[in-house]
Amino acid sequence: MGEVTIMKKRKKFAEEPNFTEKKSYRPEGVKETGLAFIGHEISEDGNVMNQFLHYDQLYTIRHGKNSKFFKGLLEGKILGTRCPKCGDIWVPVRTHCWNLNCNLEKTEWLEMPLTAKVHTWTIAGWSGRSSLKRLPIVLVYAVIGDSKVAIANELHDIEPWNVEFGMPLKIVFKPEGERIGAVTDFHFKPADGWKPSPWNKEKERIQKLVEPVYEWVKTLK
Ligand SMILES: [Zn+2]
């Protein structure tokens, strides 16, 4: 008779955490209807038909090991992660170090300063419906503190033609009651005391490009 080995069955997944704090921002009257055709319209001549598809699904974004970053936003803090071996820091966060020599070392959390610098940027002259009236929007990729990577967000309180590579920024959070734990809880502003460089040809070129956007936004009701 051969030897019988009883393998201990390994649990595949971690226990479900006990979620004790739950908030809902759902507007009143919105129900989980899922995907449903809720009506249609047909033109007078019978040649054209439109259908109304109600698309309202509830998604759960499980932040897992990155949860502290989003919880930090609720508290008006930017949390980053750092590799205890090589010292590299990341915002947006990484749970394991990217350096091959660190062998996927687990990172540790640290609170970042509310200061950053512009890595690169773009000026949005078009957007989704909710932000059309705020166009043109300056979107920057900014490096927060000593992070090795950049994070995208809006830069406010600046003329689009005055943005510069490497310019210093500060991070401004929405008031506590308006925060939802998303990156839109904060935006960038030029650092206190920062002054744009003198007028030049490039600024003139950008101004000419965004002027029609300003004019168009004025016509929006
Ligand atoms: Zn490392």
| Rounded average pLDDT over 99-126 | 97
Distance 88 CA to ligand 1 centre (A): 6
Q: For residue 150, how far is its CA from the centre of ligand 1 (angstroms)?
A: 18
Distance from the CA of 109 to the center of ligand 1, in angstroms?
Answer: 13
Q: Is 115 a residue whose pLDDT tops 70? A: yes
CA–centroid distance, 79 to ligand 1, in Å, is 18
90 C-alpha to ligand 1 centroid (Å): 11
Label residues 146-160 b or e (16+ Cβ within 10 Å = b).
ebbbbbebbbeebeb
Highest mean pLDDT among 2-11, 51-60, 147-156: 147-156
* pLDDT at residue 66, rounded to an integer: 94
Does residue 58 have a pLDDT over 90? no
Query: For residue 33, what pLDDT is reported?
Result: 63
Q: Which of 188, 196, 192 is nearest to 117 (CA)?
A: 188
CA of 84 to the centre of ligand 1 (A): 7
Return all residues near 162 (Cβ < 8 A) that are at least 6 apart. Answer: 196, 197, 203
pTM of the model: 0.82
- Note the pLDDT of residue 179: 93
Report pLDDT digits (tens) over 196-207: 999 999 999 999
CA of 145 from ligand 1 middle (Å) equals 18
Reported confidence tier of residue 17, pLDDT bands at 50, 70, 90 = confident
Q: For 165-191, what is the mean pLDDT? A: 96
Mean pLDDT for the chain overall: 91
| pLDDT for the residue numbered 32 | 66
DSSP 8-state assignment for residue 215: H
**Cα(87) to centroid of ligand 1, in Å?**
6
Determine the distance separating the centroid of ligand 1 and the alpha carbon of 117, expressed in angstroms.
23
Give the rounded distance of the alpha carbon of 198 from its chain centre. 32
pLDDT given for residue 11 in this prediction: 67
Contact 187, 173 (CB under 8 A): no
15 C-alpha to ligand 1 centroid (Å): 29
Taking the centre of ligand 1 as the mean of its atom positions, its distance from the CA of residue 92, in whole angstroms, is 16
pLDDT at 1 > cutoff 60: no
- Express each pLDDT in 79-104 by its tens digit: 999 999 999 999 999 999 999 999 99
